[in-house]
Amino acid sequence: MELNKSQLQAVCHDKGPMMVLAGPGSGKTMVITHRVKWLIEHAGVHPAGILVVTFTKAAADEMRQRFVSLMDGRTMPVSFGTFHAIFFSVLKHAYNYTASNIIREEQKQQLIREIIEDMPVEPDNVSEFVNDVLSEIGLVKGSMMDIEHYYATSCATSVFRDIYKQYVQRMENSRLIDFEDMLVYTWELFTQRKDILAAWQHKFQYILIDEFQDINLLQYKLIRMLALPQNNIFIVGDDDQSIYGFRGARPEIMLNFEKDFSDVKKVFLSVNYRSQAAIVRGAGCVIKNNKQRFDKQIQAVRPEEEPVDIRVFKGPADENAAVIREIRDYHDQGIPYHAMAVLFRTNTQARMLLEKMMEYNIPFKMQDAMPNIYQHWVTQDIMAYIQIALGSTARSHYLRIINRPNRYVSRQMLGERQVAFDVLLEQYKDKPWMQERLSKFAYDVHMLTQMQPFAAINYIRHGIGYDEFLEKYAEERKMDGQDLIELLDELQDSARNYATYEEWFGHIEEYTEQLRKQARKQREEKTDGVALATMHHSKGLEYQIVFIVDANETVTPHHKALLDADIEEERRMFYVAMTRAKSRLHIFFLKERYGRPMVMSRFVGEILVDRDAVKPGMRVLHQTYGAGVIKEVTDKAIVIRFDKIRQEKKLDIQFCLANQLLKIQS
């Protein structure tokens, strides 16, 4: 493919800093590889003096292969690698580190497990807790935060700080480093040893960085040091696709790049070669509502083929049925399964659709690990109640739920491997209030024996009080209780169509086995299947057909997104999801979920009504107030004089759009 004017300008940039703003499908990989070729063949740069930095090993390998292909198979000593790979090379030379010094993932996990043994934490899911802690440790290091000024989310801040300090100390004592340490130690080395820094600056005369919008503070500081004194730094990225804030990515680094490099040249790759015009236009209507961004207009090469398909469904069952129907129709038309993708905001949303796809024998590929809700600790609690109702006397089942909700039963009273309830009752014979609680427990368990699975879960939640227990549990641990309640909703819904516990358990077993088989198949072979992915994991991928499901408020944007910056990242995520589609984009949302009313996502509203098109003087129709004339439009409000009531109303424009309350008449 021939380079367009903007691409050519970027490729042929001479010296000094350059920022390439590369929109979706604009050919950024091609620009980077062609630039490396141009530097070698036209600028006379020795290949060994060129460093290309990516964020993943897969991206580095792909970049290297594309470059070799561009050079007609000739190999050159250009360095392609991740931040971690590049800076580990520095440490190898300085400290004689080898691969044996890099802590393995399972070692990290075990180290945290050992540390928390003596800590005042009792996580229900230890693996999940360990992963959350390790993620936060990485965030602290990558953001160059003082641990004393960091406030934890995985557990109490004081506890996290103790865990962090012990983790760092034990790593140092064992002469082990993790991925973040590769950067931290290099930073310390470059700061203390200017001679070593100078040697590496001399080695890499030209530095090219892909996906620059995902950079964190530590990575940026290292790159700035390495690029001196020539500052031949060539960054490629899209601030509108910065979606890894939870990893420490800071889009403001890219937004402020011109302040740090006053002589920077800027090129905008504004042509989208991937998506047809309707998709590009719809995505543009969404992303322009972000304030913290570079203003840009994307043009589509491909003409408009079909409008973006936006549909509302009564509930998840109808939505999933529509997705299945559309996938089968597309496949009948000759579109392979692997050319289609269903995108979710969170991976917990996939359960119902997965079950449907298994039912209809539609093959699928999971881009990220789909959690099995049946293995979650909340589900295990519910299962323990049911197992006891079915006659289990296992101590493990009783220990799980005897104090959920709290009945103040001592663990010492459950000392035997098998629990005899009469014996337990007898142990509290001198405490009538405890006997009363245990009698209520026995009554509740008996009630469960007479119920179908759906009704049983409902009884455990509301009759026994498990929902209330969860809310208190989350509050005490400063967790988001809504996520746990939603998981219970999912679990209860999964039991809806089963008449007996045996049938439901059989379904759970089959579903779990299918997930295992799918994961195994994906590891062993390339399979033709519909991609199921979160919005996060869809980044960098493309498909002919894309479905975005559950496009509702509290889902996308997520209910945890409270600050303006959070909402902007959520909008960027939705934008990324939209721009994965080449030919057809379906966006589905719900009227209700689990009996609760749902509201259309504001992002969908931004597609349906372009806020820039809403201007004073226009006539509108409001669902409640009827016809009127727009008098004033601001960022957050719209003032309308309504004919019928002969009054002006100041309304929240975002709310009106999200709830489809307004129609433009002219």
Q: For 336-347, how does the pLDDT look when each residue is reduced to its tens digit (9 = 90+)?
A: 999 999 999 988
- Tokens 């340490």 map to which residue? 181
Side-chain-side CA neighbours of residue 243 (13 Å): 20
Distance between CA 413 and CA 430 in Å, rounded?
A: 14
- 119 pLDDT higher than 80: yes
Q: Token digits for 82?
A: 């991740």
Distance between CA 368 and CA 536 in Å, rounded?
A: 9
- Per-residue pLDDT of 286-331, as tens digits, reads 999 999 999 999 999 999 999 999 999 999 999 999 999 999 999 9
* Percentage with pLDDT > 70 across the chain: 98
CB neighbours (10 Å) of residue 64? Answer: 19
Q: Token digits for 563?
A: 């600050």
The answer to whether the beta carbons of residues 279 and 543 sit under 8 Å apart is: no
- Rounded to 10 deg, the angle between the 179-192 and 126-142 helix axes is 20
The answer to whether the beta carbons of residues 527 and 365 sit under 8 Å apart is: yes
- pLDDT range class, residue 503, cuts 50, 70, 90: very high
- The secondary structure element, H or E, covering residue 632 is strand 626-633
The answer to whether the beta carbons of residues 45 and 39 sit under 8 Å apart is: yes
In 25-156, which residue ranges form alpha helices assigned H by DSSP? 28-41, 57-70, 83-95, 105-116, 126-142
Distance between CA 624 and CA 647 in Å, rounded?
A: 13
Distance between CA 597 and CA 602 in Å, rounded?
A: 15
What is the rounded radius of gyration, in angstroms, for the C-alpha atoms of the chain?
Answer: 28
CA proximity to 308, closest of 10, 4, 586, 22:
586
Backbone angles phi, psi at 205, to 5 degrees: -85, -30
- pLDDT range class, residue 658, cuts 50, 70, 90: low
- 351 pLDDT higher than 90: no
- Per-residue pLDDT of 612-621, as tens digits, reads 778 899 998 8
Beta bridge partners of 394: 418
- Rounded to 10 deg, the angle between the 217-227 and 179-192 helix axes is 40
Residue 525's pLDDT is what?
64
Mean local confidence (pLDDT), 142-171 = 91
Torsion angle in degrees (nearest 10) through CA of 366, 368, 369, 374? -70
Q: What is the mean pLDDT of the chain?
A: 91
pTM of the model: 0.88
Distance between CA 623 and CA 612 in Å, rounded?
A: 21
Residue 523's pLDDT is what?
63
The answer to whether the beta carbons of residues 21 and 259 sit under 8 Å apart is: no
For 257-326, give the DSSP string.
HHHH-TT-EEEEE-EEEEEEHHHHHHHHHHHTT-SSS-----EEEEPP-S--EEEEESSHHHHHHHHHHH
CB neighbours (10 Å) of residue 39? Answer: 25
- Tokens 């998709």 map to which residue? 279
- Per-residue pLDDT of 442-461, as tens digits, reads 999 999 999 999 999 999 99
Residue 174's pLDDT is what?
92
- 1 pLDDT higher than 70: no
Distance between CA 454 and CA 188 in Å, rounded?
A: 58
Q: Return the minimum-mean-pLDDT range out of 88-102, 182-196, 321-335, 417-431.
A: 417-431
Residue 522's pLDDT is what?
67
Contacts of 156 (CB under 8 A, 6+ apart): 120, 121, 478
Side-chain-side CA neighbours of residue 201 (13 Å): 18
- 193 pLDDT higher than 90: yes
